[in-house]
């Protein structure tokens, strides 16, 4: 359904998207997982025909994004990362306008608006100006405006950023139900949990490159039998244990810092732990707690890049 071939986008000297190649099958939820600045939004903007790629090509349902942009736009729906709504129109008016722009009319449009507003839980606020909405409500309306016309392919760019857990839950469930109805979805996020919960396949992006691609189990296998030890400290990392020393302990694959915690990727947590404690004590750092995390997508990212997804 979506085919991306050697896609590259440069902004001056910065390569935002670097030689990206992947495919999304019809009816699939495909997630692009990556930290800030990985190039997720740029990729979506190119696929949605908003930006021209520097080189490479992509097709949506066989239509080239370069040669047939208008056909592509008829097939897709986009939920942009930034809230893109008219603040002085009501929720209903916004949906009416965007629905019209996607060619919906009359009774069908009204029916869709009512239904979608209900699905995103905004029916009571429908006739208030968007200006008066809370952040989470705006996010949900932003989502509604992108899928009102039931596109065959939906691009969702970090639709859950900065909202409360309930709204997030509602959005994730909604996305799943849309997919069950046959919508192909390209979802970007930097929340490992979301990618894990939603997607059939995941592409991990970093610095514009796709560094891993596959089903979750395949990616986890790639990470091997590695566990992660998360250490947190008394007196918040002052003084600091030297990451280099930790990294050179045997059985340690990678070490990274995330906030005031340290993550250690290891093949044998039981053997490594006593060494870690010794090193920390030698450097005058007191460990407050240790947590062992089973392999997940985050571990994969950590192993591939040596960094945490969020830092």
**Under the rule (CB under 5 A), what is the footprint of Mg ion?**
40-41, 81
Which range touches ligand ATP (CB under 6 A), out of 18-26, 35-43, 147-155, 270-278? 35-43
Which residues ranging from 36 to 55 are in contact with other proteins (CB under 8 A)? 45, 48-52
Q: Using CB under 6 A, pick the residue from 2, 22, 24, 39 that binds ligand ATP.
A: 39
Q: Which is it for the CA torsion 230, 232, 237, 242, positive or negative?
A: negative
- Is 84 in a helix, a strand, or coil? coil
Which DSSP state fits 296?
-
CA atoms within 13 A on the CB side of 294: 2
For ligand ATP, the closer CB: 90 or 189: 189
Do 30 and 203 meet the contact criterion of CB atoms below 8 Å apart? Answer: yes
d(CA 140, CA 172): 11
- Residue 221: contacted member of Mg ion, other proteins, ligand ATP, none (CB under 5 to 8 Å, by partner type): none
Which residues ranging from 212 to 241 are in contact with other proteins (CB under 8 A)? none
DSSP string, 236-286: GGSSPPPHHHHHTSTTEEEEEEETTEEEEEES-HHHHHHHHHHHHHHTT--
Q: At which residue do the structure tokens 């919906």 appear?
A: 104
14 contributes a contact to ligand ATP by CB under 6 A: yes
190 contributes a contact to ligand ATP by CB under 6 A: yes
Of 179, 98, 184, the C-alpha closest to 141 is 98
The secondary element (H helix, E strand) that includes residue 217 is helix 216-223
For ligand ATP, the closer CB: 14 or 268: 14
Which residues ranging from 40 to 69 are in contact with ligand ATP (CB under 6 A)? 40-42
Which range touches ligand ATP (CB under 6 A), out of 37-45, 89-97, 272-280, 301-309? 37-45
Which residues ranging from 86 to 105 are in contact with other proteins (CB under 8 A)? 86-89, 93, 97-98, 100-103
Which range touches ligand ATP (CB under 6 A), out of 34-42, 164-172, 191-199, 292-300? 34-42
Positions that interact with other proteins (CB under 8 A): 45, 48-52, 70, 73-74, 76, 78, 80, 82-89, 93, 97-98, 100-103, 145
């Amino acid at each position: 359904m979506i085919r991306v071939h050697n896609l590259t986008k440069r902004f001056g000297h910065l390569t935002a998207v670097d030689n990206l190649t992947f495919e999304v099958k019809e009816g699939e939820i495909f997630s692009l997982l990556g930290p800030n600045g990985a190039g997720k939004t740029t990729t979506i903007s190119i696929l949605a025909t908003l930006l021209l790629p520097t080189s490479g090509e992509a097709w949506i349902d066989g239509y080239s994004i370069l040669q047939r942009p208008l056909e592509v736009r008829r097939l897709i729906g986009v939920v942009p990362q930034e809230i893109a709504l008219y603040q002085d129109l009501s929720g209903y008016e916004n949906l009416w306008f965007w629905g019209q722009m996607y060619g919906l009319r009359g009774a069908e449009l009204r029916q869709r608006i009512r239904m979608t507003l209900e699905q995103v839980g905004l029916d009571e606020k429908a006739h208030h100006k968007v200006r008066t909405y809370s952040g989470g409500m705006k996010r949900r309306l932003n989502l509604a405006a992108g899928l009102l016309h039931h596109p065959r392919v939906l691009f969702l760019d970090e639709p859950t950023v900065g909202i409360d857990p309930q709204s997030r839950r509602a959005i994730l469930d909604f996305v799943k139900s849309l997919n069950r109805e046959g919508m192909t979805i390209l979802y970007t996020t930097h929340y490992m949990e979301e990618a894990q919960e939603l997607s059939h396949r995941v592409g991990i992006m970093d610095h514009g490159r796709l560094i891993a691609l596959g089903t979750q189990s395949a990616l986890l296998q790639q990470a091997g039998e590695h566990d992660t030890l998360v250490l947190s400290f008394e007196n918040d990392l002052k003084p600091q244990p030297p990451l280099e020393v930790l990294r050179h302990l045997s059985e340690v694959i990678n070490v990274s810092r995330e906030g005031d915690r340290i993550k250690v990727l290891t093949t044998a947590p039981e053997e490594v732990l006593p060494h870690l404690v010794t090193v920390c004590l030698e450097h005058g750092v007191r460990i407050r707690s240790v947590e062992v995390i089973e392999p997940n997508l985050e571990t994969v990212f950590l192993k591939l890049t040596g960094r945490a997804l969020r830092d």
